[in-house]
């Protein structure tokens, strides 16, 4: 299977954005982006795609079964507009800031 080169791919989502899941077992859930991996094209979203991990006890961690969010592919995510509170596609202004295609409101925090 051929791997896609996502190194130079421009992403519309950024760390800290509120996003909604479009497909999969967590369809319809929303959360804040905690981490983005540009190389693999995946993002970790808070309280979405929760997995259980069996953790061995160490000096830092107590052992047991812990729950943590796992990564989702970015094609399954859509940014939620802060003004209209709906998932929408993004456009770009002349100055390069991101805007909501539905209401025209700026997404970037200034």
pTM of the model: 0.81
The values of phi and psi at residue 50, to 5°, are -75, 130
Per DSSP, the three-state class of 75 is helix
**What are the pLDDT digits (tens) for 52-96?**
999 999 999 899 999 999 999 999 999 999 999 999 999 999 988
Residues of the chain with CATH 2.30.30.30: 1-54+65-79
Fold (CATH) for 1-54+65-79: SH3 type barrels. (2.30.30)
**What are the pLDDT digits (tens) for 23-63?**
999 999 999 999 999 989 999 999 999 999 999 999 998 99
**DSSP helix, strand, coil percent of the chain (3-state; round to 5):** 5, 40, 60
Q: How far apart are CA 92 and CA 73, in angstroms?
A: 23
User: Which two three-digit tokens encode residue 101?
Assistant: 């295609």
């Amino acid at each position: 299977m051929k791997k896609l080169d996502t190194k130079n791919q421009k992403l519309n989502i950024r760390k800290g954005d509120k996003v909604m899941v479009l497909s999969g077992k967590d369809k319809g859930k929303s959360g804040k982006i905690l981490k983005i991996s540009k190389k693999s094209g995946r993002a970790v979203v808070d309280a979405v795609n929760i997995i259980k991990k069996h953790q061995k006890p160490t000096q830092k961690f107590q052992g047991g079964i812990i729950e943590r969010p796992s990564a989702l592919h970015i094609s399954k995510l859509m940014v939620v507009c802060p003004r209209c509170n709906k998932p929408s596609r993004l456009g770009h202004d002349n100055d390069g800031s991101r805007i909501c295609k539905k209401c025209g409101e700026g997404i970037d925090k200034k």
